Structure 1
């Protein structure tokens, strides 16, 4: 029986230029993003929430079980960024969705232009002043987000005193149950800023949830920081 040859494939254009697999991967990623953005735009708002209603309900039950088994204990999911060409204040001004005049640009524009493209699993804004429907690990979650005026001491313990700007949010399930905390830290440098983005999850969260949400944060905030830089520099 003849041995099987190793698979290989070469693509080229009529002008004779060879196209690498990585370049085709980039083309595929571009059109996948465009196709997904089209679907998110068509389903934006209540149609998307209706479509995901059963999965949101299943996610709520899953996350409530994790919360109950955690007995008030938490653990961290974190990514660190170092950005040049933009300051933390410039990033935060863009991120809060307020233009130079101080006037809010509304909800539809920030979601479709900023939140939806930032991660494939950003499905919709929630039915709250501030919230998001997204995957957390392998389950869909609808969270209500509130800026935390006084950061709890146990959340601050994850911080680093070298980072002088700190922002925390408390994230709730639909029934008002606290699910997790978001905790961001910023430190400006001569040419840019350092940024730590962490989520403080209930300790019973399985490792795959922690690992996949770390990946989520890396994808999401790389997109946000790059978009803020592009907005700043036209």
Structure 2
């Protein structure tokens, strides 16, 4: 990769959004996420808070995270099943575009999907304060517990990156690299999915990030999840191309 400063510019609902605006959103979400899981808000600037909060969540262990958020997961599961049933297969999409100078699409997706790297678990949790658990099993099924968008509840779902058949968002041939899969409940009900697409550009790459929710999901949550996407993927991109 050429010696080039990495920059990330987001487009949310047709509006150009600076990296500083996305970082400000992250800073507002972090104290709420800490209260949600019953942890103290770390001190220091956002970078120090992000590191400390990720370390503390990881130190809890998966079982303790599930225990602390069990009530949320039960309640959000009821909501997800109800919205899915009443949406009759229709989906609403939350989309964010990132334009990156430096790096390339293939290298990023290879890094993002490499569950065997030593820093995988930490990088997944640190990317967004609303990430409480991201655990990928040997078969590739990924368990996620997070607060989607601005939701007051943490949700648990399982992403299968080997199955895109339930997705309604069509594959865009203009984006040759993708990370996509269905999101299911623990009982196997398809409640949504991810269709993240990437393509190289002259000085970097373009990421089109898309999440499918049940059609009747509140518009506010759909809108806020665009910021969630910008936050997590900007942090992941910076981590993927950081000098080591």
- Give the equivalent residue in structure 2 for 1:123: 132
Q: Which runs of 5+ in 1 are unaligned?
A: 1-21, 99-103
**Secondary structure of 2:154's aligned partner:** strand
- Give the equivalent residue in structure 2 for 1:145: 159
- CA contact under 8 A between 1:126 and 1:133: conserved in structure 2? no
- CA contact under 8 A between 2:167 and 2:181: conserved in structure 1? no
Following TM superposition, by how much is the alpha carbon of 1:218 offset from its aligned partner in structure 2, in angstroms?
Answer: 0.7
* CA distance 1:148–1:155, change in 2 (3 Å): farther
Quick check: 1:59 aligned with 2:76?
Answer: yes
Q: Note the alpha carbon deviations across 1:159-197, whole angstroms, 9 max, x for none.
A: 544222233210001111111110011111232111100
- What is the distance in 2 between the residues matched to 1:58 and 1:152? 24
- CA contact under 8 A between 2:98 and 2:207: conserved in structure 1? yes
* CA distance 1:95–1:126, change in 2 (3 Å): closer
Following TM superposition, by how much is the alpha carbon of 1:134 offset from its aligned partner in structure 2, in angstroms?
Answer: 0.5
- What is the distance in 2 between the residues matched to 1:170 and 1:150? 6
**Secondary structure of 1:155's aligned partner:** coil
**Secondary structure of 2:97's aligned partner:** strand
Number of equivalenced pairs: 199
- What is the distance in 2 between the residues matched to 1:197 and 1:89? 15
Following TM superposition, by how much is the alpha carbon of 1:215 offset from its aligned partner in structure 2, in angstroms?
Answer: 1.2
- CA contact under 8 A between 2:160 and 2:181: conserved in structure 1? yes
* CA distance 1:152–1:171, change in 2 (3 Å): closer
- CA contact under 8 A between 2:164 and 2:181: conserved in structure 1? no
- What is the distance in 1 between the residues matched to 2:191 and 2:163? 17
Quick check: 1:72 aligned with 2:89?
Answer: yes
- CA contact under 8 A between 2:167 and 2:192: conserved in structure 1? no
1:111 to 121, 138, 154: 121
State the TM-score, normalizing by the size of structure 1. Answer: 0.77
- CA contact under 8 A between 2:62 and 2:133: conserved in structure 1? yes
- CA contact under 8 A between 1:151 and 1:168: conserved in structure 2? no
Tell me the C-alpha RMSD between the 2 structures. Answer: 2.4
- What is the distance in 2 between the residues matched to 1:221 and 1:127? 18
| Larger Cα-atom Rg | 1
- What is the distance in 2 between the residues matched to 1:135 and 1:149? 23
Q: Which runs of 5+ in 2 are unaligned?
A: 1-23, 28-42
Q: Note the alpha carbon deviations across 1:5-55, whole angstroms, 9 max, x for none.
A: xxxxxxxxxxxxxxxxx9xx8943234324422321321211111111111
Quick check: 1:163 aligned with 2:180?
Answer: no
Deviates more, 1:147-156 or 1:136-145: 147-156
Q: Note the alpha carbon deviations across 1:138-177, whole angstroms, 9 max, x for none.
A: 3211111101455557321xx5442222332100011111
* CA distance 1:188–1:30, change in 2 (3 Å): closer
